[in-house]
Chain A
């Protein structure tokens, strides 16, 4: 049963700390998306990669957020330094080639105190 994996599932941290969220795409999926969900803004696209190259990161605050794909089996989203307004659920979505269906992980719930 192929699934997108995200770790950690929950993270509580203090303002100013670095946070790293990880996503393991479904094997063979070459496109990875990062979304953030809050009550106020809903689901927002932060960035996405295809074949490990960034295609669009216009939704991401550049001064504190960074997204990378060190290899085909791992995508990371890093926040440094974290702020209380970054508290949200962060979802990773993956898809294969030009396929229509996007598969989502269970999300990382981040709380910044």
Chain B
């Protein structure tokens, strides 16, 4: 599985945008970029995924670099409930659907 690199931790303030970076320089053409988050004492939760184009949903936006070697998860207006560990994961669309989790980024939101 191709590897992703994320900062160990980030901090932001409530009601401000948050940009969580992820590097994946060895990504292959068939790898989708997935983001999951894990709130304290809960199981992981799907956030968003994309292949080449930027994506938006009710939770977040995903900005994918033109060369696909990096991506950024954007929380437009962070709330205290967004404090979690955010995982950037590469996954083949077809075949195996397993998720290989790295260490993720621990996001702290200050009131």
Residue pair A91, B98 in contact (C-beta under 8 Å):
no
Question: Cα distance A33–B97 when bound, in Å?
Answer: 9
* B interface, over-half SS: loop
A86-97 vs B, CB cutoff 8 Å, 1 = contact: the mask equals 000001010100
Question: Which of B44-52, B63-71, B72-80 is the contact stretch?
Answer: B44-52
Question: Is B98 a contact partner of A48 (Cβ separation < 8 A)?
Answer: yes
Question: Cβ of A100 and Cβ of B34 under 8 Å apart?
Answer: yes
Does A101 make an interface contact (CB < 8 A)?
yes
Total count of chain A residues near the partner, CB < 8 A: 23
> Is the Cβ of A101 less than 8 Å from the Cβ of B43?
no
Report A-chain residues with C-beta under 8 Å of the C-beta of B96: 55-56
B10 within 8 A of A: no
**A contact residues vs B (CB 8 Å cutoff):** 4, 31, 33, 35, 42-45, 48, 55-56, 91, 93, 95, 98, 100-107
A-B interface, 9 closest residue pairs, ranked by CB to CB distance from nearest = A104-B43, A43-B101, A101-B46, A91-B43, A104-B44, A45-B98, A100-B49, A107-B43, A105-B43
What are 22 contact pairs spanning A and B, CB under 8 A? A33-B98, A33-B99, A42-B102, A43-B101, A44-B101, A45-B99, A45-B100, A48-B97, A55-B96, A56-B96, A56-B98, A93-B99, A98-B94, A100-B32, A100-B34, A100-B46, A100-B93, A102-B44, A102-B99, A104-B43, A104-B44, A106-B43
